[in-house]
Amino acid sequence: MPAGARARSLSAYVTSTGSFLPGPPIDNDQIEDILGLIDGRPSRLKSRILKANGIRTRHYAMDREHRTTHSNTELAVAAARHCMQASPVPMRSLRLLSCATTQGDLVIPGFGSMVQAGLGMPEVELHTTHGICSSGVMAIRAAVNSLRVGDQPNALVVVSELASRLFKHTRYEAAGGQFNMDFDAEFLRWMLSDGAGAWLLEREPRGRCLRVDWIRSYSHADSLPVCMSIGRPTDSTDGRSWQDFPTYAEAEAAGALLIRQDVRLLDHIVKLGVDGALRLIGEGLLDMQRLDHLLCHYSSHHFRSRIFDMLQMCGAGVPDEKWFTNLYTKGNTGCASILIMLDDFLKEGRAQPGETLLCVVPESGRFNMAYMHFTVVET
Amino acid sequence: MAETVVLARPEQLSEAGQAALRGLMRAWFDFERRLSRVPMIQRLEIGTFTKADYLQLLLNLRQQVVEGSRWISRCASSFDRDHADIRSVILGHAHEEHRDYEVLEHDYVTAGGDLAAIRSHLRNPGSEALHGYMMYRASEPNPVGLLGAMWIVEGLGEKMAKDWAMRISDLPGVGEAGTRFLRYHGQNDQNHLSKLYALLDRLCTSEAIAADILRTAAVVGRLYALQLEEVDVE
């Protein structure tokens, strides 16, 4: 095989993107109108947590009566259709479907099966990843690898989240209400919301698109405790999983179906995110001086103060104008965030041929830090 | 005659200094992960740490804190006249810290420990290794590599104050009065950083020196973690 052909066979390009956010933007004052008041009382922590995360609007696939307006599968399908409508590639020619979500509509089968059926895609190779925020990068990674080894000519990656169903006031009341709630159980109620994103990957470039330069991730589950989870009861001395209870009703009453964030451990996420970036600089993969755009699934204001100062001094700082985020208006949609963010970024038209782009997805679940590097190319 | 020597924070670091700072940050993150794998620290992070754990921790830290000011003083005296400014800074530091162990002993007694027991406690194997290595490095001429040791040890002091002290003072029978030693090192973070930058700017003038600093940070991190692993062995 000539060198040029080999180089081409090792490439993958993001040639189209799409996203879908359900319903109208919901501002901070309307959140409890949708999610409901726990025990009929407004939250005392809400404004503090919202102030810290900076989110101003988000979307929910649920109405005020707690009727689901779009299933998770429907969110994914809508994003996938937006992505494919923007591309001349016909849906029927897609060969690989790679999907991720934190919680599908069904516990089993895999989320990808439901998305495939929703899209009516015949005979595709199917891939579903499992995890939290970084599972979207895992789905992208699987698609990129498949293209790079030459197994498939194209792949559609669809990543979707429907977190709001976890945040109904009735869920918290079933676990004992405000009396039994701690900061950790309430934190994510003011953080996460719904949405889906999709990317089309091809082996050849098409128009103005992104070449995937590399994807790397570093997981630290061996050294740190669980930081974000569903499945453990409120009583931390009770080691049972939600599946160990005699009935699901008992698991719910014990708080084992609430989504929790151990906020005391969150500092690690910034440090480990920086650690991975320094490692990539050390490996010669990443050059912060030459980086043009940074898309991070974590708001930049968490990088202020000390660690920000050190990044500047060590030559790894990224000036504010290179950061792009839609977190404050589109909300934190977990594993779908980075796909929706790239879609918004590309539609703004800022990316010029030759420029480089770094996507950073730190997952707090048990600390998995993922990085994707792209170069803008034009055919 | 004596003037306080203050090393000014540089505007920016040389390329060698920047690379060394990146390496030190990674060495620190690696050390923190290593600490998180130590069973006692795991208990602290998931909230099952007890007052008995705390007493055991202080019991095992005291000998190293006593020896700490000795190796800092030794380090100062190993710098020659071309490094007189560095020597002054380190001597000031030794003076600040040489009676820290008394604060630690006070905390131990406040939390219910016996003064005679902590004073007679032997160094654990990790403390032996750490102390031996520190004294050996501090005895070498112009031991610039010890900047890596300072980075790890001061960083841990800040971590104790920020991450550990609050959790431990919440334990029944400990309180703020029993965590003065842990809290003490959280002051003046920004000064610590400025001092680090200044020392890197002053001392990190070649790749060989940078490598020595990073190597020392890695060894000290490993030995410090060993000292904490040994707390649970007794």
B-chain residues near A309 (CB < 8 A) = 193
CA distance A369 to chain B (A): 14
In a domain, residue B118? The reply is yes
Q: How many residues appear in chain B?
A: 234
Of B18, B32, B190, the CB nearest to A315: B18
Q: Do A236 and B46 touch (CB under 8 A)?
A: yes
ipTM of the modeled complex = 0.88
**Residues of chain B that touch chain A, judged by Cβ-Cβ distance less than 8 Å:** 12-13, 15, 18-19, 21-23, 25-26, 29-30, 32-34, 36-37, 42, 45-48, 163, 167, 189-190, 193, 197
**DSSP helix/strand/coil, A230:** strand
In a domain, residue B6? The reply is no
Q: Do A225 and B21 touch (CB under 8 A)?
A: no
**Chain A: residue whose CA lies nearest to B201:** A313
pLDDT tens per residue, range A242-271:
999 999 999 999 999 999 999 888 889 999
- Residue (of B162, B71, B59, B67) closest to B115 by Cα position: B59
**Chain B: residue whose CA lies nearest to A270:** B29
Check if A278 contacts B (Cβ < 8 Å): yes
The per-residue pLDDT of chain A, averaged, comes to 94
pLDDT of residue A220: 97
pLDDT tens per residue, range A59-68:
999 999 999 9
pLDDT of residue A8: 47
User: What proportion of chain A, given as a percentage, has pLDDT over 90?
Assistant: 88
Tell me how many residue pairs between chain A and chain B have CB atoms under 8 A apart. 62
Check if A282 contacts B (Cβ < 8 Å): yes
Residue A272, pLDDT above cutoff 90:
yes
Residue A314, pLDDT above cutoff 60:
yes
> How many structural domains does chain A have?
3
Whether A12 and A121 share a structural domain:
yes
What is the mean predicted confidence (pLDDT) over A309-326? 92
Give me the amino acid identity at A229: S
Whether A110 and A252 share a structural domain:
no
pLDDT band at B188 (very low <50, low <70, confident <90, very high): low
Boundary (domain end) residue, out of A205, A238, A272: A205
Whether A61 and A40 share a structural domain:
yes
pLDDT band at A153 (very low <50, low <70, confident <90, very high): very high
Please tell me the least confidently modeled range out of A124-133, A256-265, A345-354, B183-192: B183-192
Of B33, B48, B197, the CB nearest to A313: B197
pLDDT band at A4 (very low <50, low <70, confident <90, very high): very low
In a domain, residue B212? The reply is yes
Whether A240 and A201 share a structural domain:
no
A96-110 burial: b if 16+ Cβ within 10 Å, else e? bbbbbbbbbbeeeeb
Check if A267 contacts B (Cβ < 8 Å): yes
Radius of gyration of chain A (CA): 21
Whether A181 and A289 share a structural domain:
no
Residue B17, pLDDT above cutoff 80:
yes
The two structure tokens encoding residue A169: 């006031």
Give Cβ neighbours of residue A363 (< 8 Å, ≥ 6 apart): A131, A132, A133, A134, A135, A228, A369, A370
Name B52's bridge partners. Answer: none
Give the A window 196-255 contacts with B, CB below 8 Å: 220, 222-225, 236-237
Whether A181 and A329 share a structural domain:
no
- Residue B166, burial from CB neighbour count under 10 angstroms (0-12, 13-18, 19+): middle
Domain that holds residue A307: 210-225+263-378
In a domain, residue B143? The reply is yes
Domain that holds residue B128: 20-231
In a domain, residue B137? The reply is yes
Question: Cα(A277)–Cα(A283) distance, rounded to whole angstroms?
Answer: 10
Residue B20, pLDDT above cutoff 60:
yes
Residue B36, pLDDT above cutoff 90:
yes
CATH number at residue B211: 1.20.910.10
What is the mean predicted confidence (pLDDT) over B60-73? 90
Q: Do B21 and A313 touch (CB under 8 A)?
A: yes
User: What proportion of chain A, given as a percentage, has pLDDT over 70?
Assistant: 96
Check if A281 contacts B (Cβ < 8 Å): yes
CA distance A359 to chain B (A): 21
Residue A3, pLDDT above cutoff 70:
no
pLDDT of residue A264: 87
Residue A356 vs residue B187, higher pLDDT: A356
Whether A10 and A144 share a structural domain:
yes
Task: Identify the residue among B12, B13, B28, B33 best suited for mutation to test binding to A, counting A beta carbons within 10 A and taking the highest.
Answer: B33
pLDDT of residue A251: 98
> How many structural domains does chain B have?
1
pLDDT of residue A303: 57
Whether A277 and A218 share a structural domain:
yes
Whether A114 and A154 share a structural domain:
yes
Q: Do B45 and A306 touch (CB under 8 A)?
A: no
Q: How many residues appear in chain A?
A: 379
Q: Do A223 and B22 touch (CB under 8 A)?
A: no
pLDDT band at B162 (very low <50, low <70, confident <90, very high): confident
Whether A214 and A359 share a structural domain:
yes
Residue A15, pLDDT above cutoff 50:
yes
Whether A323 and A254 share a structural domain:
no
Q: Do A310 and B25 touch (CB under 8 A)?
A: yes
Please tell me the least confidently modeled range out of A37-41, A244-248, A330-334, B163-167: B163-167
Whether A257 and A271 share a structural domain:
no
Residue A177 vs residue A182, higher pLDDT: A177
pLDDT tens per residue, range B110-127:
999 999 999 999 999 999
**C-alpha distances in Å from residue B107, one per residue of A311, B60, B62, B156, B179:** 36, 13, 11, 18, 6
Task: Identify the residue among A218, A222, A223 best suited for mutation to test binding to B, counting B beta carbons within 10 A and taking the highest.
Answer: A223
The per-residue pLDDT of chain B, averaged, comes to 91
In a domain, residue B13? The reply is no
Check if A106 contacts B (Cβ < 8 Å): no
**Chain A: residue whose CA lies nearest to B16:** A314
Give me the amino acid identity at A198: A
Q: Do A313 and B37 touch (CB under 8 A)?
A: no
* CA atoms within a 13 Å half-sphere pointing along the CA-CB vector of A65: 2
